[in-house]
Amino acid sequence: MVGGRREVLSLYKALLRESRKFSAYNYREYALQRIRDGFREGKLLIGEEQQRQLQRARESLEIIKRQVVIGNLYAHPELVIEK
């Protein structure tokens, strides 16, 4: 079964793990909140709509990975809130 519980949980954890690598506090917190909200809303989906959302999450993971690399090239100093 594509989109089984194990796969969804693995994707969720991978998204959270990659998002925590953002060097910029605002990007990091925004991404983490969007991921949590998206998966919370998505747990009620079934069938084809669930598959579309899972594919979108996989694509988002790839985007986040690229953005983390780019963001780390232009890292900013830590904000006061991060200390």
Q: Within 13 Å and on the Cβ side, how many CA atoms surround 46?
A: 0
The torsion angles phi and psi of 72, rounded to 5 degrees, stand at -70, -20
For residues 40 and 77, what is the distance between their CA atoms, to the nearest angstrom?
32
Per-residue pLDDT of the chain (83 residues), as tens digits, is: 455 889 899 999 999 999 999 988 899 999 999 999 999 988 888 889 888 999 999 999 999 999 999 988 887 788 888 77
Q: Which domain holds residue 38?
A: 5-82
Number of domains in the chain: 1
pTM of the entire structure? 0.83
